[in-house]
């Protein structure tokens, strides 16, 4: 039986490099579909980041039961997990871990799958560290409550969450330091 490519170290290293690029250039759409060999981006990212020390919440049942043993992550409530796999079409119905003043790095990373990155009726204007001036990001399939709630969650910086948006083949990072304003469309 051949192992699916997202579970191989060489593929995970390529996905990890794209994640580093994405977080250093917020709002920049990074292609990972080619190296993920047909797996959706959110699943490839989870395969790359999870290990036996990570806590992972799956409030919307996005993770296949067969993937949990391969991920090795500890299932956890959304309020306490370091990572949360989420569906962008659904409004958030939880408050993620925001870290503390002593340890802001314990704020969660939310992996939110959307319909499309780069095209769509929602247009975001992004500013902040890693962005030269301003960057525009268009997307589809993100419930507007995610942006409202994110504003609340990052309002007490350095506490907050980092967002990693995914579609089938792409990723976009929106760290808690990125300022976001909606410049068009609804959903």
- 38-41 contacts: CB < 8 A, separation 24 or more? 39/4, 39/5, 39/6, 40/113, 40/166, 40/168, 40/169, 41/113, 41/166, 41/167, 41/168, 41/169, 41/170, 41/171
What band does 185 get if pLDDT is binned at 50, 70 and 90?
A: low
Give me the chain's average pLDDT, please.
94
What band does 34 get if pLDDT is binned at 50, 70 and 90?
A: confident
pLDDT at 43 exceeding the cut of 60: yes
Q: What phi-psi label fits residue 126: left (phi over 0), alpha (psi between -120 and 50 degrees) or beta? A: beta
Please report the pLDDT score of residue 1 as a whole number: 56
∠ CA 123-27-40, rounded to 5°:
95
Please report the pLDDT score of residue 11 as a whole number: 93
22 in Cβ contact with 174 (< 8 Å): no
Please report the pLDDT score of residue 187 as a whole number: 43
Q: How far apart are CA 163 and CA 128, in angstroms?
A: 15
Please report the pLDDT score of residue 3 as a whole number: 75
5-184 sits in which CATH class? Answer: alpha beta
Percent residues over pLDDT 70 in the chain: 97
Q: β-strand 170-174 against 30-31: which pairing, if any?
A: antiparallel
Please report the pLDDT score of residue 27 as a whole number: 97
Q: What is the pTM of this model?
A: 0.94
Segment 85-90 shows an average pLDDT of 97
Residues 99-149: pLDDT tens digits? 999 999 999 999 999 999 999 999 999 999 999 999 999 999 999 999 999
Q: How far apart are CA 1 and CA 8, in angstroms?
A: 14
Segment 78-87 shows an average pLDDT of 97
Residues 47-81: pLDDT tens digits? 999 999 999 999 999 999 999 999 999 999 999 99
pLDDT at 35 exceeding the cut of 90: no
130 in Cβ contact with 140 (< 8 Å): no
Name 187's Cβ contacts closer than 8 Å, sequence gap at least 6.
121, 122, 140, 141, 142, 143, 144
Please report the pLDDT score of residue 45 as a whole number: 97
Please report the pLDDT score of residue 184 as a whole number: 60
Give the domain ranges of the chain. 5-184
């Amino acid at each position: 039986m051949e192992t699916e490519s997202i579970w191989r170290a060489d593929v995970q290293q390529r996905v990890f490099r794209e994640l580093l690029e994405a977080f250093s250039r917020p709002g920049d759409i990074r292609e990972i579909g080619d190296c993920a060999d047909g797996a959706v981006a959110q699943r490839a990212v989870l395969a790359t980041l999870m290990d036996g020390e990570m806590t992972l919440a799956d409030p919307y049942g996005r993770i296949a039961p067969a993937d949990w043993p391969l991920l090795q992550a500890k299932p956890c409530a959304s309020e306490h997990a370091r990572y949360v796999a989420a569906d962008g079409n659904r409004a958030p119905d939880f408050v993620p871990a925001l870290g503390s003043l002593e340890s802001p790095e314990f704020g969660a990373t939310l992996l939110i799958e959307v319909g499309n990155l780069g095209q769509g009726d929602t247009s975001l204007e992004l500013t902040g560290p890693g962005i030269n001036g301003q960057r525009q990001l268009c997307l589809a399939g993100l419930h507007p409550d995610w942006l409202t709630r994110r504003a609340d969650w990052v309002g007490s910086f350095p506490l907050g969450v980092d967002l990693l948006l995914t579609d089938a083949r792409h990723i976009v990072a929106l760290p808690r330091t990125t300022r976001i304003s909606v410049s068009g469309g609804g959903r």
